[in-house]
Amino acid sequence: MSIPNILTVIRILLTPVFVISIIKNAHTLSLIIFAVAAVTDALDGLIARYFNQKTALGAHLDPIADKLLLSSAYVCLAIIHNIPSWLAVIIISRDVIIMMGIAICYINTIHVPINPSFVSKATTLTQLLTITLALLNEFYPLTVLITIFCWLTALLTILSGLHYVFVGMKILHAHGNGPSKNNGEDAK
């Protein structure tokens, strides 16, 4: 277990505590837990690169930890009306589509490299900032800024999702599992 993987596990373990703090309206605690989780996310990648501690486990565990924290945060914040519910639906839908694509590749024994794209990293950053603003809104009125970030997050999330669909289709097509060249005759 490397230090980056330990930090990732800490982030996973912080997720239910974060959800409980939101449910209990413990706004300060929610903000602190989310900040700690965000810092562990930044640190695990930095340490893994800087000290050459990248592992296969970390490559798979880190995105799972991110999805768990972000999805939980968006669902909870939508339920308590701190962010619009449509944004939570967009974010969860993108993640489900990505997971379905990975499952399809796995079923077809196609190795999918876990390499987040630039647009995916930008999406994660805006998703983190939107959550942070929504949590800070309990202490300072940030309605206009939150609205701007909600739309920016939605746009980047959709672009990122489309990018992954395109990449996934390319991978499937390269392995002979893409759309049939006989105009769907096999599907009948």
Angstrom distance (rounded) from CA 39 to CA 47: 12
Q: Give the model's pLDDT for residue 179.
A: 54
pLDDT in tens, 93-150: 999 999 899 899 889 888 887 777 899 889 999 999 999 999 999 999 999 999 999 9
Residue 12's Cβ-count burial label (10 Å; 0-12, 13-18, 19+) is: middle
Q: Give the model's pLDDT for residue 187.
A: 46
Amino acid at 149: F
Q: Give the model's pLDDT for residue 59.
A: 83
Residue 53's Cβ-count burial label (10 Å; 0-12, 13-18, 19+) is: middle
Q: What are phi and psi of 82, to 5 degrees?
A: -85, -20
pLDDT in tens, 35-88: 999 999 889 889 988 888 888 888 889 889 999 999 999 999 999 999 999 999
pLDDT in tens, 169-180: 998 898 886 555
Q: How would residue 186 be classed by pLDDT, with cut points 50, 70 and 90?
A: very low
Please answer whether residues 34 and 132 qualify as being in contact, where contact means their C-beta atoms are separated by less than 8 angstroms.
yes
Q: Give the model's pLDDT for residue 177.
A: 66
Nearest to 63 by CA among 104, 94, 19, 18: 94
Structural domains of the chain, with CATH: 3-180 (1.20.120.1760)
Amino acid at 146: I
Q: The whole model's pTM is what?
A: 0.86
Q: What are phi and psi of 51, to 5 degrees?
A: -105, 15
pLDDT in tens, 150-161: 999 999 999 999
